[in-house]
Amino acid sequence: MAELARLLFVRVPYVLTGVLMLAAIAINFANVIARYVFSSAIFWTEEALVFLMLWSMFLAAVTIAFNGDHINMDLLFERFTPRWKIVVTTSASVAFIACTLFVAVQSWQVVSLHYTNGTRSVAAGVPMVVPHAALLVAFALMALAAGYRALARWLGQPDPAAADDVRAEPGQ
């Protein structure tokens, strides 16, 4: 189960983020060539780049949530007793899950509205469901990732994120 969680919350978002970043680089490079060699910019690139960066950022946030790499204020936390550490960690997990679920529900409403209205972006003509779905997908996955880690902690299992530390030195 931990391997499936690492695949869903770490590997897939990393690969998708990489692919989206490469696509953004290719589009930007094509626009530079079009603008400076052919004196004719590709009019939809700015909008497409914003959408690609939006998806990249939110997909990376899923991995950050799973790994617990978000900002932590641990100056006082390290001095807490084990019992208080459990209270604080549990409270933080519940608050994080509640907030991410709230944003996911709100995002669902926005995506539904854009789907119903059939709205499209001005320059690229991209259905507005696409960029707004980034928030829905990412916050739903962040809630699942945080819930999975909290459940593993509660069941006394090892931290699922620690088993696949992608920050390890090469060759380890």
Which pair of tokens denotes residue 16?
A: 């998708």
Q: What are phi and psi of 75, to 5 degrees?
A: -60, -50
- Tell me: the pLDDT tens digits for 70-102? 777 778 888 889 899 889 888 989 999 999 999
DSSP lists the bridge partners of residue 127 as: 120
- Tell me: the pLDDT tens digits for 117-126? 999 999 999 9
For the chain, the domains span 2-159
Q: How far apart are CA 24 and CA 16, in angstroms?
A: 12
- Tell me: the pLDDT tens digits for 17-46? 999 999 999 999 999 999 999 999 999 999
Q: How far apart are CA 80 and CA 96, in angstroms?
A: 21
pLDDT at residue 104 tops 70: yes
Look at 3-17, 43-57, 134-148 and tell me which has the smallest mean pLDDT. 3-17
Could you tell me how far CA 22 lies from the centroid of its own chain? 17
Nearest to 78 by CA among 89, 92, 64: 89
Calculate mean pLDDT across residues 123-130: 94
Inter-residue contact 39 to 133 (CB < 8 Å): no
What pTM was estimated for this model as a whole? Answer: 0.84
